[in-house]
């Protein structure tokens, strides 16, 4: 990742930012504070018996938006509003916009299925009258 991309932040209502490094760390199960991402941290030496206790938790296969927001210490509404996703053709949508469009798609598919069913019923009725 280039150096410029690593310094971009997403503002929250508290006027704090989350860097891409923090996001990556949180996704990896290691939430970091801003100070930790700006300066190297030298962990104290740990004996072998203690290292098993301090091992990071297993990374889940997936997160809900609420879990990710909690891990990033922001509100879920801020995650939906500020997380921009590249959808191709030089277009980005927020996570919230994608969620809204997915809802619309599900509703459209349900209406389409209902219309097809009504059409098939009507055609069957016409065939039976013939």
Domain residue extents for the chain? 1-82, 83-130
Least confident of 54-63, 75-84, 95-104, 120-129: 54-63
What is the DSSP pairing of strand 9-11 with strand 17-19? antiparallel
Percent of the chain with pLDDT over 70: 56
Least confident of 15-19, 94-98, 122-126: 15-19
Q: Residue 3: pLDDT band by 50, 70, 90 thresholds?
A: very low
Q: List helix spans (H) across the chain.
A: 3-6, 20-27, 34-38, 48-51, 65-72, 76-82, 95-129
Least confident of 12-16, 67-71, 81-85, 119-123: 12-16
Does 119 have pLDDT greater than 50? Answer: yes
Q: List pLDDT tens digits, range 41-79.
A: 444 555 555 555 555 667 778 889 999 999 999 999 999
Give the predicted TM-score (pTM) of the model.
0.48
Q: Give the span between the Cα atoms of 68 and 75, in whole angstroms.
A: 10
Top pLDDT among 100 and 51 is at 100
């Amino acid at each position: 990742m280039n150096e410029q991309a690593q310094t971009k932040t997403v503002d929250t209502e508290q006027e704090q930012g989350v860097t891409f490094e923090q996001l990556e760390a949180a996704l990896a199960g290691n939430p970091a504070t801003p100070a930790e991402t700006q300066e190297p941290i030298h962990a104290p030496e740990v004996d072998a018996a203690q290292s098993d206790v301090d091992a990071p938790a297993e990374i889940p296969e997936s997160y809900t938006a609420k879990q990710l927001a909690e891990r990033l210490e922001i509100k879920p509404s801020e995650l939906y509003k500020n997380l921009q996703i590249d959808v191709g053709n030089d277009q980005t949508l927020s996570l919230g916009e994608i969620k809204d469009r997915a809802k619309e798609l599900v509703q459209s598919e349900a209406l389409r299925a209902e219309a097809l069913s009504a059409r098939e019923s009507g055609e069957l009725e016409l065939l039976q009258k013939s």
